[in-house]
Chains A and B, each alone.
Chain A
Amino acid sequence: MKIRASKAERLADEELMPRIGEKDPDAFEVFYDRHGGVAYSLAYRIVGERGAAEDVVQEAFISIWRSGARYDRARGSVRSWMLGIVRNRAIDFLRSKAGRAPKLDFDDAAVLEHRPSAELTDAEALRRETTHELRGALGELPGEQAKVIELAYFGGFSHSEIATMLEVPLGTVKGRMRLGLEKIRGELAGGLA
């Protein structure tokens, strides 16, 4: 078993997916070990409760386990695909909780902190460095652009809900979203990605 797991560790995510589709638990374990941390972090960022974040991650990964063959590499990396599933599950959770405001912390400096860890692999260290730079790039966005992106992506609000909430025209919300994504895209093109 360990030999198989060891082999799976050497496979790229895109190579793991067909094995997961064939119900190889070792491939799935490697996949979870690579991405479970960021999945949990994203789920917690959206739902704001540890227990609920665990449920979101478990639901998302079981969904991937059962439908791994549905990954379409034309839509991006496996990691992005997986995080999209986690995000959707987390937003579903938020929407199912009537009367509870999503966790939004525009001014929470902790979100932008770089949390050091005693044991980092080179790959993880590189990823964290990139993450740090990305946070900086987001921090460079004008506040109104960052806000609509935050409300939509992490809060699960529709553009019309955001327009009502911020008391601005719908077209303004759309414009801010587009300009914000353009700037992030520009940063990516400038060498962050």
Chain B
Amino acid sequence: MNETEHDRRRDDIAAYLLGALEPGEAAELERHVAGCAECEEELRRLRPAVQVLPETVERLEAPPALRGRLMEQVRSEAAGSQGASAPRRAPRWRFGLRPLAGLAALALIVAAIGGYAIRDGGSGDGPKTTTVVTGHSPGVTAEMVRQGETGTLRLANLHQLPSGKVLQAWVQRGKQVVSAKALFIPNSDGTATATIDGMKGVTTVMITAEPRGGSVQPTSDPIVSVSIPN
């Protein structure tokens, strides 16, 4: 075994356990540990020291409503009624965003990539749902719910992003495209939700992959592009 390589990897074990290695470094360490009994033992020995860290945080009571929502979703899925009747609460991956009132009452229209019919599912002052989706990532689906000045965009079947990349939402008014100030990443199941404020006059909502921290202007083709009828 290359001693220098071994020493270097061994020095990375604490950082690895703390989640402080870059993905490439972590993968290299895992490959090394798979063939190094000494490092495997070191990993096993130090792991409990990291596992106790979450036990040291100030203990709070979880909100009862959280339990209610969670069990509602779980029992709904267990009953095989996922998606049909369950008012599944959208995760609030918000960025200074407002919760939507009466979300369960919203009629959702889901469209797949390729261009579905434009629809306006709302009436009167109620929430409006709109969807026309085009894009460059086959399989990605989107649903857009608009209520007043706020829009909620839900995406599914997204691929995981390369390290250092985030998804950024953009809105188009006329010929002008500006950031919607919403940065997010896909969940592990390929879903993501972004809420977009200031929907007045918006004709299109787009999502692009951008460097961490976001961009001033889009630097890549849209993953999805949702037309918003006004």
B225 smallest CB distance to A (angstroms): 21
A115 to B55, CA, bound (A): 14
Task: Type the 1/0 row for A166-193, where 1 means its CB is closer than 8 Å to any CB of B.
Answer: 0000010111011011101100100011
Whether the pair B20, A36 counts as a contact (CB closer than 8 A) is no
Known pairs A160-B22, A181-B14; A65 contacts B77 (CB<8 A): yes
The interface bits of chain A over 59-88 (1 if a CB of B lies within 8 angstroms of the residue's CB, else 0) are 101110110000000001100100110111
Q: For A24, A38, A54, which residue has the most chain B Cβ atoms within 10 angstroms?
A: A54
Classify the interface of chain A: helix, strand, loop or mixed. helix
B56 CB within 8 Å of chain A: yes
| Contact between chains at A63 and B62 (CB < 8 Å) | no
Cα A138 to Cα B58 with chains together (Å): 13
Task: Please give, as numbers and ranges, the residues of chain A lying within 8 Å of B19 by CB-CB distance.
Answer: 87-88, 91, 152-153, 156
Please, which residues of chain B bring their CB within 8 A of the CB of A58?
A: 66, 69-70, 73, 89, 91
Contact A59 B11 (CB under 8 A): no
Contact with A along B69-81 (1 / 0, CB 8 A): 1110111011000
Residues of B within 8 A of A99 (CB): 213
User: Which chain B residue shows the least CB distance to A24?
Assistant: B78
> Counting CB contacts under 8 A, is B67 at the interface?
yes
Residue from A24, A83, A152, A184 within 8 A of B20 (CB atoms)? A152
Measured CB to CB, the closest approach of chain B to A103, in angstroms, equals 11
A15: Cβ under 8 A from any B Cβ: no
Among listed B44-52, B105-113, B146-154, interface-contacting one: B44-52
Contact of A80 among B51, B58, B78, B212 (CB under 8 A): B51
Contact B70 A62 (CB under 8 A): yes
For residue B54, which residues in chain A have a CB less than 8 angstroms away from its CB?
A: 38, 41-42, 45, 83, 86-87
Name A residues whose Cβ lies closer than 8 Å to a Cβ of B: 23-25, 28-29, 32-33, 36-42, 44-45, 50-52, 54-55, 57-59, 61-63, 65-66, 76-77, 80, 83-84, 86-88, 91-93, 95-99, 110-111, 113, 115, 127-128, 130-131, 134-135, 138, 149, 152-154, 156-160, 162, 171, 173-175, 177-178, 180-182, 184-185, 188, 192-193
Contact surface of B with A, Cβ cutoff 8 Å: 11-15, 17-22, 45-63, 66-67, 69-71, 73-75, 77-78, 89, 91-95, 99, 166, 183-185, 187-189, 212-214
